[in-house]
Structure 1
Amino acid sequence: MTERHDVQALSDVDIHVYEAVAAQCVETGGAYFDGLVRACGLTEEEVRWSLATLVGHGYVVPRGDGYVLGPHTFEVEY
């Protein structure tokens, strides 16, 4: 059984960071913290908190030194 995620539970910052993770995963196969901070134009603390939220909901999964997308039930356009 697949858990349904509620994308409405995410803030605008979380969606912005998720989109940056998705873009970097498409481009390089994974997203890394420093690259996410640069891509998002947010503070390190904002990105760190957002990643914690995204990981907690299962949208983003830590892999090695970076992050990849977790299972999801919605699409992102970028």
Structure 2
Amino acid sequence: MSEAHDVQALSDVDIHVYEAVASQAVEKGHADLDGLIRASGMAEEDLRGSLARLVGHGYVVPKGDGYGLGPHTFEVEY
């Protein structure tokens, strides 16, 4: 990746979703949509919107039937 991600550019909602993806990815190797809905407490439509933004910026990547973490330059504590 040629340019560094600016985590400060993410909304609070996107950070919440990123943290949910990270938590599941660590536990299961990937995050699935149903698990993300449960973990985030968000409506599916809102969750999909946030995931689309995160994928578009490379923070999250599609992985099989779910999502994984993309390259990043910051840490998440959960």
Q: TM-score, normalized by length of structure 2?
A: 0.95
- Which runs of 5 or more residues in structure 1 are unaligned? none
Identify the residue that residue 54 of structure 1 maps to in structure 2: 54
Aligned equivalent of 1:39 = 39
Residue 23 of structure 2 is aligned to residue 23 of structure 1: yes
How far apart, in 2, do the equivalents of 1:37 and 1:19 lie?
Answer: 13
Question: What is the CA-CA distance between 1:64 and the residue it aligns to?
Answer: 1.2
Deviation of 1:63 (Å): 1.1
Offset, 1:2: 3.3
Over the aligned positions, Cα root-mean-square deviation in angstroms equals: 0.9
- Taking the aligned partners of 1:60 and 1:73, their CA distance within structure 2 comes to 13
Q: After TM superposition, which residue ranges in structure 1, 4 or more long, deviate above 2 angstroms?
A: none
1:68 positional shift: 0.3
Normalising by structure 1, we get a TM-score of 0.95
* Cα distance in 2, alignment partners of residues 76 and 23 from structure 1: 9
- Name the amino acid aligned to 1:13: V
Percent identical: 77
d(CA) in 2 for partners of 1:74 and 1:2? 15
Q: Secondary structure at 1:62's aligned position in 2?
A: strand
